[in-house]
Chains A and B, each alone.
Chain A
Amino acid sequence: MFFLRKYKTAILIIALLAIALMMLSVNLKYGAERGFFSKIVLQAVAPVQKGLNASIKSIRDAWLRYIFLVGIEEENKNLKKKINELKSVIISYQEGYLEAQRLKKLLSLTDDYNYNFIPARVIGREQAALSKTILINKGTVQGLKAGMPVVVPPGLIGRLVDVSWHASKVLLFIDENSNIDAIVQRTRMQGIISGAGSRGLILKYISKTQDVQEGDVIVSSGMGGVFPKGLLIGQVSHVDRLEASLFLKINVAPFVDFSKLEEVLVLASSENKTKQQ
């Protein structure tokens, strides 16, 4: 008894080692049939393993969801960036398309008339209340001279008043100082088109006895040699027969929206074109 008490730890260890070796040898000799304690351990392991796996899975899922959301956020950011880039591309394409449309109209105009057209871009607008002028990016270097008519599809818009080397000022025919000799296309009645600022144009000096109707087209008469004959100016918008006056008061709406001018054509003389050809 004393011996057991004195060497109990050593005996315990020897016993443990012996049990382990016995287990090993029994299993080696008689195959892999699991013992009672093994079955208990496995039985106990299952629920713990299941619980742990469930928690690990939930943590992993949450993490993966987080990673996924981070990815989504990044992707969203990239897509937004791409959308903005594509928007700018689309806008530039639209600009190109609209410019092409305008230039196409200009080209069609050059085909219609036998003149030498010098294309120019509008680079500024006169902001004064009464003055109606625009600034274009061509000047004497490109062959421009004061007095040359300026057109955009489908007709006349004014003439050059000041010309420098690389820029020119165009006096629009809606300017109060602008007077153009014009005719009513239908009746061939001649008059003077004067600018009326924001009100458009006024056709003057048409006798009250003449037949002028709303919708009649007004074109340049070619008189005076400044503007070629037959260029569109506008359309009669209102005819007033004042009793006190000898002439009709005719309001004319220009064909062109002057606030949207971007490119114009300056008409050089037809002789130049003939020479070039």
Chain B
Amino acid sequence: MIYYLLLPFLSIILVILQSTITDVIFSGRLVFELSLIVVIYAGFRLDLARGAVLAFITGFVFDCVAGSMPGLFTFIYVVIFLFSFFASSRLAAEKIYIIVLFSFFCAFLEDLMVILFYYLAFKYDVLMNIYFVLLPKSLIVGLFAPVFFYMMRRVEVFFYEKTD
């Protein structure tokens, strides 16, 4: 129960942290979506209910903080969590290149959904942003995901001595 109580606060901290890191490191030119990596990681490590709630809340907080259309990232994060959850049983999560490729794919999938949504809802042609914003963002997520996975495993081992 405490997990569900703490989740909103942790999500807020996570989203603020990622926006601050983005601001400090990339000066707002690129996006570092740590929350997406957390959702992907949740797909690999958490059960369906906990992970789905985490994805929902994180997406909602991200919607609120990022100023996007409310519900958009909430929906996308839940979808990506589900995708990640069902893919995790077929993927070897301990291999770094798998994590990199899968995270890159998830980030790209998220971007495609955003582009599709804006195109369907507002007829915005944001396809040109793929090369300058979305592709670098997916690369950053893909490259940083193994680091996050490793760190989280160390944390799990430290707290729960849970290695698998």
**Are the C-beta atoms of B64 and A45 separated by less than 8 Å?**
yes
Contacts of A48 in B (CB 8 A): 12-13, 16
Identify which of B68-76, B102-110, B123-131, B132-140 touches chain A: B68-76
Check if A27 is an interface residue, CB within 8 A of chain B: yes
Further contacts, 20 of them, CB under 8 A, given A16-B78, A24-B70? A12-B53, A13-B78, A16-B52, A17-B75, A17-B78, A20-B59, A20-B78, A21-B71, A22-B71, A23-B74, A24-B69, A24-B74, A24-B75, A26-B71, A35-B70, A42-B64, A45-B16, A48-B13, A56-B20, A56-B24
**Are the C-beta atoms of B52 and A12 separated by less than 8 Å?**
yes
Contacts of A17 in B (CB 8 A): 75, 78-79
Check if B37 is an interface residue, CB within 8 A of chain A: no
For the complex, what is the distance from the CA of A171 to the CA of B118, rounded to whole Å? Answer: 106
Contacts of A19 in B (CB 8 A): 56, 71, 74
**Are the C-beta atoms of A37 and B20 separated by less than 8 Å?**
no
A53 and chain B: residue at smallest CB distance: B20
**Are the C-beta atoms of A44 and B9 separated by less than 8 Å?**
yes
Dominant secondary structure of chain A at its interface with chain B: helix
Check if B121 is an interface residue, CB within 8 A of chain A: yes
Check if A245 is an interface residue, CB within 8 A of chain B: no
**Are the C-beta atoms of B17 and A52 separated by less than 8 Å?**
yes
**Are the C-beta atoms of B16 and A52 separated by less than 8 Å?**
yes
Contacts of A129 in B (CB 8 A): none
Contacts of A9 in B (CB 8 A): 47-49, 52
Check if A209 is an interface residue, CB within 8 A of chain B: no
Check if A41 is an interface residue, CB within 8 A of chain B: yes
| Chain B: interface residue total (CB-CB under 8 A) | 33
Check if B82 is an interface residue, CB within 8 A of chain A: yes
Check if A34 is an interface residue, CB within 8 A of chain B: yes
**Are the C-beta atoms of A28 and B75 separated by less than 8 Å?**
no
A16 and chain B: residue at smallest CB distance: B56
Dominant secondary structure of chain B at its interface with chain A: helix
For the complex, what is the distance from the CA of A41 to the CA of B8, rounded to whole Å? Answer: 9
With contact pairs A16-B78, A44-B9, A56-B20 given, residues A24 and B71 touching in the complex (Cβ less than 8 Å): yes
For the complex, what is the distance from the CA of A37 to the CA of B65, rounded to whole Å? Answer: 12
Check if B60 is an interface residue, CB within 8 A of chain A: yes
Nearest 4 interchain pairs by C-beta: A23-B71, A24-B71, A20-B75, A41-B64
Partner of A38, one of B47, B52, B70: B70
Check if A127 is an interface residue, CB within 8 A of chain B: no
Check if B61 is an interface residue, CB within 8 A of chain A: yes
